[in-house]
């Protein structure tokens, strides 16, 4: 059960976060015991996207219009496709700008899912956006060599490699300092930012474990965990709570069945990319297309999910 400070949903979310962090630790250990080559890591990452990442985005139509099958969702689909199409055009016209937008919206979306504090004003949103941005910069800068191949492909070689590597060396310590500064600030503002001041310690422990995992796994294995498991499962749980469904097998099955038609359409495209990646001697090019596809879907997805997160 829960009380005023510990609502049932949040108590369950904390339990789920603990289980996911334990899964991340286990995954890190296995990746050291049974290391995969780069192609295997990329394949594993895409598989986690397919199993967990796609369904949480496939539920956008229900977040917007409700679970009632009789709802007319044509306007939603038209707006969703229009926003995605405009972003595709931007990727074609100005890939560098499109990439920057993707980093910023991903930072906001990751931040709002990681966040366990209040979200009732712009200050709180700015804090978790900054936290999410620090995380994106940390991952890209710490794994700068691995990230460079993807950036080179998706921007069609429209960036300076030497400058990219130089910025990586600068942004890594900046991102670490940024996270430490934010949590130092939040420590002195615990009562303002959290429903219960002890949540700061929970948030800090969560960040420490995630930082350890980010530094003890490869970029692709960590991203498989962070997006494929951590972000997607927590998002699915928020969607479940939004519809007042219970955390049991029956209601989880119901929710995943609702996501199935739209997930299947995305799965067909993603599985095609997996097939091409497995056949390719250089999977980076195909993976870049997967990332662009995710980016295109993230723009309309963020607009829908942020409404739910309020």
Q: For 199-223, what is the mean pLDDT?
A: 93
User: Which range has the worst mean pLDDT, 42-56, 140-154, 226-240?
Assistant: 140-154
Q: Is it the case that residue 9 has pLDDT exceeding 70? A: no
Q: Let me know if residue 15 belongs to a domain.
A: no
C-alpha–C-alpha distance, residues 59 and 247, integer Å: 17
Residues 110-145: pLDDT tens digits?
898 899 888 888 899 999 999 999 999 998 888 887
Q: For 18-46, what is the mean pLDDT?
A: 89
Q: How many helices (H) and strands (E) does the chain have?
A: 15, 0
Quick check: 79 and 300 in contact, CB under 8 A? yes
Angle separating helix axes 284-309 and 232-242, nearest 10 degrees: 30
Structure tokens at 304: 């829908």
Q: Let me know if residue 27 belongs to a domain.
A: no
C-alpha–C-alpha distance, residues 283 and 273, integer Å: 10
Q: Is it the case that residue 289 has pLDDT exceeding 60? A: yes
Buried/exposed 280-299: b ≥16 CB within 10 Å, e otherwise: eeebbebbbbbebbbbbbbb
Quick check: 240 and 247 in contact, CB under 8 A? yes
Mean pLDDT over each residue of the chain, to the nearest integer: 80
Q: What is the dihedral of CA 305, 214, 49, 77, to 10 degrees?
A: 20
C-alpha–C-alpha distance, residues 91 and 30, integer Å: 37
DSSP string spanning 209-237? HHHHHHHHS-HHHHHIIIIIIIIHHHHHH
Q: Which residue matches tokens 């941005």?
A: 133
Report residue 1's pLDDT band, with 50, 70 and 90 as the boundaries: very low
CA-based max dimension of the chain: 56
Q: Let me know if residue 33 belongs to a domain.
A: no
Number of structural domains the chain divides into:
1
Q: Let me know if residue 232 belongs to a domain.
A: yes
Domain that holds residue 284: 41-309
Q: Let me know if residue 298 belongs to a domain.
A: yes
Q: Let me know if residue 66 belongs to a domain.
A: yes
Q: Let me know if residue 30 belongs to a domain.
A: no
For residue 2, what pLDDT is reported?
45
Q: Let me know if residue 24 belongs to a domain.
A: no
Report residue 156's pLDDT band, with 50, 70 and 90 as the boundaries: low
């Amino acid at each position: 059960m829960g009380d005023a400070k510990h609502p049932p949903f949040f108590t369950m979310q904390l339990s789920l976060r603990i289980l996911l962090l334990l899964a991340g630790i286990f995954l890190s250990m296995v990746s050291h015991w049974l290391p995969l080559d780069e192609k295997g890591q990329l394949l594993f990452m895409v598989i986690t996207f397919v199993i967990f990442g796609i369904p949480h985005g496939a539920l956008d139509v229900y977040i917007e219009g409700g679970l009632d099958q009789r709802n007319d969702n044509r306007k939603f689909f038209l707006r969703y496709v229009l926003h995605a199409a405009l972003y595709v055009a931007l990727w074609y016209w100005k890939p560098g700008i499109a990439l920057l937008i993707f980093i910023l919206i991903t930072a906001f979306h990751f931040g709002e899912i990681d966040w366990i504090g209040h979200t009732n004003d712009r200050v709180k949103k700015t804090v978790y956006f900054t936290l999410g941005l620090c995380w994106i910069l940390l991952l890209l800068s710490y794994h700068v060599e691995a990230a460079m191949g993807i950036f080179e492909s998706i921007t069609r070689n429209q960036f300076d490699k030497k400058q990219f590597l130089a910025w990586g060396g600068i942004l890594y310590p900046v991102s670490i300092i940024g996270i430490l500064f934010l949590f130092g600030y939040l420590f002195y503002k615990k009562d303002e930012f959290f429903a219960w001041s002890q949540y700061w310690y929970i948030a800090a422990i969560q960040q420490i474990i995630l930082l350890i995992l980010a530094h003890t796994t490869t970029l692709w294995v960590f991203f498989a965990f962070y997006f494929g498991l951590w972000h997607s499962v927590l998002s699915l749980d928020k969607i479940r709570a939004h519809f007042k469904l219970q955390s049991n097998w029956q209601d989880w099955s119901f929710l995943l069945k609702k996501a199935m038609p739209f997930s299947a359409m995305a799965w067909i495209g993603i599985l095609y990319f997996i097939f091409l990646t497995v056949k390719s001697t250089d999977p980076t090019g195909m993976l870049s297309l997967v990332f662009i596809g995710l980016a295109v879907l993230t723009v309309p997805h963020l607009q829908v999910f942020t409404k739910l997160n309020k």
